[in-house]
Amino acid sequence: MKKQLLHVGCGNDTIDKLHFLPAKDEWEETRMDIDPRVNPDILLSIQDMNTLQGEFDMIYSSHNLEHLYLDEVAEALTQFYRLTGEGGVVVISVPDLTAAVEFAAKEGIHTIAYTVPDSMSVTPYMMLYGLPGEQFMQHKCGFTKGHLCVLVEMAGYKIASVSQDSNFNLVVVGVK
């Protein structure tokens, strides 16, 4: 039986793009997104996950939590915890506000910080506020390493690892 992966806010990405996931053939991916244009398996807002049923071995959420207001983040993480099976893992990636602000102070808020392959150039302004003109891509809050870890722990997870990468991502892995 395959391990179950809930890919929250999947966008156009699929399991093939999850570089951190070993043995992709051992996983069954369920793609969830609010945007019908990306053809998710589950068309659902992260704010409505209380209606979702199931038990997952891993929940992966990349660049979703910053699209919620801060008081909504705790509820989303509580729902992640509810849907994670015992010993399951949550992997959360968000823009690293500390790195974005430091880069903006040194280089300028509209200076290109990195480029996403086949996509776009990203500036600190975009890391702070999201993509202009995109309904689902506006940022409503942000995270530092310590803040995100506290929120993940408050949801019930034990922090397994925290990392920051060259694309200004903060990645927290929690275990239930």
**CATH code for the domain of 86:** 3.40.50.150
Q: What is the pLDDT of residue 13?
A: 84
% of residues, the chain, pLDDT over 70 = 99
Say if 170 falls within a structural domain: yes
Say if 115 falls within a structural domain: no
Mean pLDDT, residues 31-40: 94
**pLDDT tens digits for 90-126?**
999 999 999 999 999 999 999 999 888 767 888 999 9
Q: Give the relative orientation of helices 145-154 and 70-83 as an angle to the nearest 10 degrees.
A: 50
Say if 28 falls within a structural domain: yes
Q: What is the pLDDT of residue 22?
A: 78
The confidence band for 26, taking pLDDT boundaries of 50, 70 and 90, is: very high
The confidence band for 136, taking pLDDT boundaries of 50, 70 and 90, is: confident
> What is residue 166's three-state secondary structure?
coil
Say if 113 falls within a structural domain: no
| Cβ atoms of 63 and 13 closer than 8 Å | no
Q: What is the pLDDT of residue 18?
A: 83
Say if 163 falls within a structural domain: yes
Candidates 123, 126, 124; CA nearest to 134 is 126
- As a whole number of angstroms, the distance between CA 140 and CA 65 comes to 9
Q: Which domain holds residue 33?
A: 3-95+143-175
pTM, whole model, 2 decimals?
Answer: 0.92
- DSSP secondary structure letter of residue 153: H
**pLDDT tens digits for 39-85?**
999 999 999 999 999 899 999 999 999 999 999 999 999 999 999 99
23 dihedral zone (left: phi>0; alpha: psi -120 to 50; beta): left
- As a whole number of angstroms, the distance between CA 152 and CA 15 comes to 23
Say if 49 falls within a structural domain: yes
Say if 53 falls within a structural domain: yes
| Cβ atoms of 127 and 170 closer than 8 Å | no
The total number of structural domains in the chain stands at 1
Q: What is the pLDDT of residue 119?
A: 73
Say if 29 falls within a structural domain: yes
